[in-house]
């Protein structure tokens, strides 16, 4: 997540810098630093922002489970924590998922795949019918 995404997501959530800092358990100085590009956005903050967006979906459009979207074979599903914990719409939040047939070594590698996936994109991409706040 870069500073432009962070600012856009904060605005979509309808939060001020102070309010998002409180939600994230961060200082307002940290939020300023993220938005100015002085500090990179840490994985735990990125996860929290995505979680908030996932619960804030405009129109509550249903999202398919990741194993349906990715057409996972039975064997892969049964070894994947997203399937085990029935978190097919929160798969991007869980480490150790088996997207593209393998577990990814770190958050950065995992998110490079997740950002291209319909499950995460379903709430990161704003609906065309709404205007930014």
pLDDT at 108 over 60: yes
pLDDT at 129 over 80: no
Question: pTM of this prediction?
Answer: 0.81
CA-CA distances (angstroms) from residue 12 to 8, 76, 106, 133?
A: 6, 35, 28, 6
pLDDT at 106 over 90: no
The residue ranges of every structural domain in the chain are 1-42, 57-126
User: Kindly report the CA angle at 17 between 1 and 48, in degrees rounded to 5?
Assistant: 45
Residue 82 confidence (pLDDT):
93
Q: Which among 99, 102, 95, 92 is positioned nearest to 122, based on CA atoms?
A: 92
């Amino acid at each position: 997540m870069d500073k432009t995404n962070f600012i856009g997501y904060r605005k979509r959530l309808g939060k001020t810098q102070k309010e998002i800092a409180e939600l994230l358990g961060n200082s307002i100085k940290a939020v300023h630093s993220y938005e100015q590009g002085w500090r990179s956005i840490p994985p735990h903050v990125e996860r929290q922002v995505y979680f908030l967006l996932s619960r804030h979906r405009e129109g509550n459009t249903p999202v398919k489970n990741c194993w349906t979207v990715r057409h996972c074979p039975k064997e892969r599903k049964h070894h994947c924590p997203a399937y085990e914990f029935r978190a097919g719409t929160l798969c991007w939040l869980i480490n150790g998922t088996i997207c593209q047939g393998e577990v990814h070594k770190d958050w950065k590698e995992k998110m490079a795949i997740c950002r291209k996936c319909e499950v995460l994109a379903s709430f990161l991409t704003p609906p065309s019918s709404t205007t930014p706040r």
